[in-house]
Amino acid sequence: QTMGILDALFKQGVGGYHRNYDPRVHGFYSPDRNYGCTDTRLLETKVKDLPAWLGRRNYNPIAICQAIGRAYWRYNLRWISPKNIGAPLLAQACFFPMFIWYVVKYDEHAAEAHSKYH
């Protein structure tokens, strides 16, 4: 029963290469690259073309999971995996707990009004 579920997932494209990936054309497989059709970036899209751009997006749950996976690998290959990590990873490691602590304690500090009495 379990193998049937896994086979169905693999047929849907989970756990495999992108269907447009061709090793002769693209070279080594990179998990952070989108091998699908190229489109204009969101930052390069004009406001009047935004509804058409949003209409071309794929909102399939598998496509959303693939996009999240590409973002994870893009972040991982850029900031976590390099041999010479340097200061940016240390800055991120310091900033993330501070940000979480700020969000957790926001209600306590939101009531404090900073005003002058005179």
- The answer to whether position 71 is within a domain reads yes
Q: What is the pLDDT of residues 1-43, one digit of tens each?
A: 556 666 666 666 666 677 778 888 888 888 788 887 788 888 9
Number of domains in the chain: 1
* Mean pLDDT within 81-91: 80
Burial class (CB in 10 A: 0-12, 13-18, 19+), 35: middle
Angstrom distance (rounded) from CA 21 to CA 32: 13
- The answer to whether position 53 is within a domain reads yes
Q: Is the pTM of this model over 0.75?
A: no
Residue 107 has pLDDT above 90, yes or no: no
Domain limits for position 51: 5-85
Predicted local confidence at residue 33, as pLDDT: 83
